[in-house]
Chain A
Amino acid sequence: MMLTELTIAGAQGGLRRREFSATELVGAHVAAIERLNGRLNAFITVTSDLALDAARRADAILAGGEDAPALTGIPLGIKDLFCTDGVRTTAASRMLEAFVPPYESTVTANLLADGAVFVGKTNLDEFAMGSANITSAFGSVENPWKRAGDEETVLVPGGSSGGSAAAVAARLAMGATGTDTGGSIRQPASYCGIAGIKPTYGRCSRWGTIAFASSLDQAGPMARTVEDCAILLQSMAGFDVRDSTSVDIAVPDYRAACGRSLKGMKVGIPAEYRVAGMPAEVEAAWEQGIAWLRDAGCEIVEVSLPYTKYGLATYYIVAPAECSSNLARYDGVRFGRRVPGESLDALYEATRREGFGAEVRRRILMGTYVLSAGYYDAYYLRAQKVRNLIRKDFENAFRTVDVLLTPTAPSPAFAQGEKMDDPVQMYLNDVFTVPASMAGVPAMSVPAGLSASGLPLGLQVIGRSFDEESVFAAASALERAAGFTHRPAVRAEVV
């Protein structure tokens, strides 16, 4: 049995039926990491020994009987933005390259409480700022997929949760945590041919997750099936008194939602997402998705989200503004990198110049600018107003439909080196994912098929606030219809 090919749902059963041990399951993934991480660079920190210890404890619990927690013995990758107690947490930044938190984030603590085993901390764009996983201080991540007939060209995995996406796609972990601020779960999931959901803002606690843009950041799972995402989110989600923006609403049974019938569900197709210059194959995948949902019993409705066209511009004011403030704490005074200086200001300047990469510095500068006296009203305040209009767009649409269907990204994965010289070109990768982030609504990417070049294309299902169930239901139906069984060129069992 190829243990690295299992789904989480499948492994849960196998472990309980004693078909294999947690030590074997985790060991297979640890071995795969050892073999492939040197190439893919999906993990910044590999915690093999800790993982194998945890696996042995999991086996003891599984041997004990029926009531082992849901994720007992399941090997997961953790985006290196979640603080993990005693395990280095870098945010892929030189600033935190030696930072070992003395605390565990709520989301990872929830997973640990459910028995999950962490095999390592996955790579990301520095401080989660990027769409290609090329801004990490620990080097770029390679997408395990290859263009058909082109084994040479290294493709990007998307970002910022590129390490998590690559690790899951290449079978180095059964699932992984991601965070999504403007598409950082969905876009890499799409590029790497896996599923990933950004739940409703407030569904997962942000406590202990390194902040990029607080009003947008939301943790979510990435896995190879929609059901596996449901299993992981079940564990990750929940109210947390330590996060004032987390919401005290019961977490429903997500796994059950995956099997729900779509009969009578209304699916909205937002006209504004038909952007000029969208590749025909992306458009075709979208049309295919619409047809699948119609076949599954859905009613397809054209809807309008008139303000979404301002989503990206608005995002690039709000997110940098918050980041410029959130990242002020990295000053070399209390933790993290310190570059000495002759004065306090000199220490700040040297520390932050050396500690932050170019993209992070760019966003801090943009954010500082838009919050400055004299510019605040024109930029930040106006962006907040537009954000409210975008939110209303979604509210209006969800008065008539249950979910929205769109492409996840305007293209399949591109090559390292492409789109690199123009930050705005790079930002455009998030054009379809940003609006849902601005509105705070849940959105999921699910693999729908391959491009002409043999690369995965994802479709995005967007739902009402706190209605992840409908999102899971629709995404599951798409997944079943697509029957996506393609696997990347670089993966565990390929030596």
Chain B
Amino acid sequence: MTYLIEGRDGPWELVVGLEVHAQVISQSKLFSGASASYGGEPNTHVSLVDAGFPGMLPVINRECVAQAVRTGLGLKARVNLESRFDRKNYFYADLPTGYQISQFTHPIIGEGAVEIELADGSTRVIGITRLHLEQDAGKSMHDQDPARSFIDLNRAGVALMEIVSEPDIRSPEEAGAYLRKLRMILRYLGTCDGNMEEGSMRADVNVSVRKAGEPFRTRCEIKNVNSIRYVMQAIEVEAVRQVEIWENGGSVDQETRLFDPARSETRSLRSKEDAHDYRYFPDPDLLPLVIEEAWVQGLAAHLPELPDAKRQRFQDEYGIPRYDAGVLVAEQATADFYETVARGRDPRLAANWVIGDFFAALNRTGRTIQDSPISADALGGMLDLITDGTINGKIAKDVFEEMLETGESAADIVERKGLRQVTDTGAIDAAVQAVLDKNPDKLAEYRGGKDKLFGFFVGQVMKAMAGKGNPALVNEALKKVL
């Protein structure tokens, strides 16, 4: 559905492009041997190169290049076999060399595409303009001392991928879907953990509005938004702000803005006139980055199955609905969990249990799939008991709860608590007869034509058997007698 902003004199269309900064998963930094791991005491992951000491030189980290290439392949993008590093010059206390090494004119990855799916089931393709490698800066801390600012260089020099989308996004929902999909792909690839709270994924949001059919109008850039929800909110409020300006006869200035989630508004950070002149030029300390086609092919051959392909395979191979497949592939760990459960079992039953009771249990207990008290094999073991008739679906729910609590296997619980389903027709017949004897009035009503009471009798029989009766046999026995 088209997202339009209703202005005073008609609808406005939204135009959004996103620049996502994704921290590369790697042992060491982009140009130094210092650890790239998150956290650590301030200034403990810092080499002389990161601190910009005299005479220190950058040396490109091969693994970071490989991660960028994997990401490019995952985004179905062009891999540039020759790319270049440039210096982006500006002064700031947490930028030790006075320049950031980035890729300005010749990025390592060119055009690509990400397919997103919206709530109404429709899909759209968002173009990727480019992906380039660059260094992160350090962190300035202004709240540690009344008079001084402190600098932590642990993050300085860590590799980032800047992933730039085309201005193809037309609604906050699409922006959210794009970010979720991008994050999913990065996580599948193992190239970025996508953790926005820790800042390992951040977005700069370019927003403009226009009347249908117009060329682009002036855009504003909202810097460093650190959650998907905030990105969606920021777009919404910024678009409204711009529509108001245009409709009041003003014009939107190209500027950099900040999103304030507390007040749900964007504020000007600096205007175009105050914009830095970054004085980009090729970094003379680094040769052009040349990679071999064969090396790229080698990386491509070892890429994991990506979400779109996996979803399609789940539909084809397991015969589960598209929606369910989508839920199951949202995270690699979930998909793996499901496949373990489904292996050699009824895949639809497995999907129902994983998406239903299992997800609900994780939600309820605040656990993740990684520290789930019920392993995929344990859940599979329980499904086996359902399939072979040892327990019925209702008892399975109790067994599941018990597994959640104790971590015991389904078989042990069934054994210990004597939950084995009763398939002995003699016992079932006896229970049926007892229920009929106890409810002569209901029996009369039923025979008088009140068919709906059949369910009542089933319930009473199951109750009498403590839920352990085989539902099919109970039905059969009742029908026979009634």
Can you name the residue of chain A whose Cβ is closest to the Cβ of B275?
A373
Alpha-carbon distance between A331 and B96 when the two chains are bound, in angstroms: 9
Write out, one digit per residue, whether chain B residues 37-76 have a CB within 8 A of any chain A CB (1) or not (0). 0000000000010011111111110000000000000000
Known: A245-B285, A325-B279. A348 touches B91 (CB 8 A): yes
Cβ of A322 within 8 Å of any chain B Cβ, yes or no, is: yes
Q: Is A101's CB under 8 angstroms from B286's CB?
A: no
Contacts of A371 in B (CB 8 A): 89, 279-281
B281 touches A321 (CB 8 A): yes
Chain B interface residue number, banded: 20 to 34
The verdict on B202 contacting chain A, using a C-beta distance below 8 Å, is: no
CB pair B93 A368 closer than 8 Å: no
Interface 0/1 of A3-47, CB less than 8 Å to B: 000000000000000000000000000000000000000000000
- Contact across chains for B48 and A372 when beta carbons are under 8 A apart: no
The closest CB in chain B to the CB of A95 belongs to: B54
B214 close to A (CB within 8 Å) = no
A352-395 CB mask vs B (1 if < 8 Å, else 0) is 00000000000000001001110010001000000000000000
Given the complex of chains A and B, what is the CA–CA distance between A102 and B56 in angstroms? 12
Question: In the docked arrangement, what's the CA distance between A376 and B280, Å?
Answer: 9
Which residue of the partner chain A has the closest CB to B49?
Answer: A242
Measured CB to CB, the nearest residue on chain B to A83 is B55
| Across-interface contacts of A207 in B (CB, < 8 A) | 55-57
| Complex Cα–Cα for A368 and B57 (A) | 21
Q: Is the CB–CB distance between B286 and A244 below 8 Å?
A: yes
Kindly state whether residue B98 has any CB partner on chain A within 8 Å. Answer: yes
Tell me whether A214 and B96 are in contact (CB under 8 A).
no
Contact with A along B95-117 (1 / 0, CB 8 A): 01111000000000000000000
CB distance from B143 to the nearest CB of A (A): 16
Do B57 and A206 touch (CB < 8 A)? yes
A380–B281 Cα distance when bound, in Å, is 9
Task: Report the minimum CB–CB distance from B103 to chain A (whole Å).
Answer: 15
Q: Is B378 an interface residue (CB 8 A)?
A: no
- B296–chain A nearest beta-carbon distance, Å: 21
A209 at the interface (CB under 8 A from B): yes
Decide: B54 and A325 in contact? CB cutoff 8 A: no
Interface pair B281/A89, CB less than 8 Å apart? no
Point out the residues of chain B lying under 8 angstroms from A82, CB to CB: 55
Q: In the complex where A328-B89, A328-B97, A331-B91 touch, is A244 in contact with B54 (Cβ < 8 A)?
A: no
Q: What B residues does A242 contact at CB under 8 A?
A: 57, 59
**With A245-B287, A331-B91 as given contacts, are A101 and B54 in contact (CB-CB < 8 Å)?**
yes
Query: What 1/0 flags go to A196-220 for Cβ under 8 Å of B?
Result: 0000000000111111011100000
Interface pair B98/A328, CB less than 8 Å apart: yes
Please give the distance in Å from A160's CB to the nearest CB on chain B: 16
Whether, in the assembled complex, B277 has its beta carbon less than 8 Å from a beta carbon of chain A, the answer is yes
For residue B51, which residue of chain A has the nearest CB?
A: A334
CB B32 to nearest CB in A, in angstroms, measures 10
Does any Cβ of A come within 8 Å of B284's Cβ? yes
Interface residue? A105 (CB, 8 A): yes
The interface residues of chain A lying within 8 Å CB-to-CB of B99 are: 325, 328
B284 touches which of A99, A209, A322 (Cβ 8 Å): A322
CB-based nearest B residue for A102 = B48
How far apart sit A175 and B145, CA to CA, in the bound complex (Å)? 51
The answer to whether B54 and A210 touch across the interface, beta carbons within 8 angstroms, is: yes
CA distance in complex: A89, B54 (Å): 10
A275 close to chain B: CB less than 8 A: no
Partner of B54, one of A83, A321, A324, A331: A83
Q: How does the 8 Å CB contact mask read for B405-436 relative to A, with 1 for contact and 0 for none?
A: 00000000000000000000000000000000
Interface residue total, chain A, C-beta cutoff 8 A: 43
A contacts with B: majority SS: loop
Among the listed A214, A244, A321, A372, which residue makes an inter-chain contact with B60, where contact means beta carbons less than 8 Å apart?
A: A244
| Residues 312 to 350 of chain A near chain B (Cβ within 8 Å) | 321-322, 324-325, 328-329, 331, 333-335, 344-345, 348
Asked if B87 lies at the interface with its beta carbon under 8 angstroms from chain A, I say: yes
Measured between C-beta atoms, what is the minimum distance from B180 to chain A in Å?
Answer: 37
**Contact yes or no, B52 A334, CB < 8 A:** yes
| Among B97, B279, B280, B286: residue with most chain A CB under 10 A | B279
CB–CB A376/B281 < 8 A: yes
Cα(A102)–Cα(B55), bound, Å:
12
B386 at the interface (CB under 8 A from A): no
Distance in angstroms from A57 CB to nearest chain B CB is: 26
CB atoms of B59 and A206 under 8 A apart: no
A214 and B281 contacting across the interface, CB-CB below 8 Å: no
Q: Does B151 contact A (CB under 8 A)?
A: yes
Q: Give Cα distance in the complex from A103 to B57, angstroms.
A: 13
Q: Is A241 close to B, CB under 8 A?
A: yes
Assembly CA distance A215 to B92 (angstroms): 25
Contact B97 A329 (CB under 8 A): yes
Give, as a whole number of angstroms, the nearest-CB distance from A344 to chain B. Answer: 6
Residue A262 CB within 8 A of the other chain: no
Say whether, besides A215-B284, A245-B287, A328-B97, A368 and B279 are in contact (CB < 8 Å): yes
Chain B nearest Cβ from A178, distance in angstroms: 15
Contacts of A345 in B (CB 8 A): 91
Contact A206 B55 (CB under 8 A): yes
For A244, give its contact among B56, B59, B87, B149 (CB under 8 Å): B59
- Known contacts A325-B281, A334-B51, A371-B280; can you find 15 more A-B pairs with CB under 8 A? A102-B48, A207-B56, A210-B55, A243-B57, A245-B284, A245-B285, A325-B87, A328-B91, A328-B97, A333-B151, A335-B54, A345-B91, A368-B279, A371-B281, A376-B281
Question: Could you write out 20 A-B pairs with CB less than 8 Å apart?
Answer: A83-B54, A103-B53, A206-B55, A207-B57, A208-B56, A210-B55, A211-B54, A213-B284, A214-B284, A243-B57, A324-B89, A328-B89, A333-B93, A335-B51, A344-B149, A348-B91, A372-B279, A373-B277, A376-B281, A380-B281
**Chain B residues near A (Cβ < 8 Å):** 48, 51-60, 87, 89, 91-93, 96-99, 149, 151, 277, 279-281, 284-287
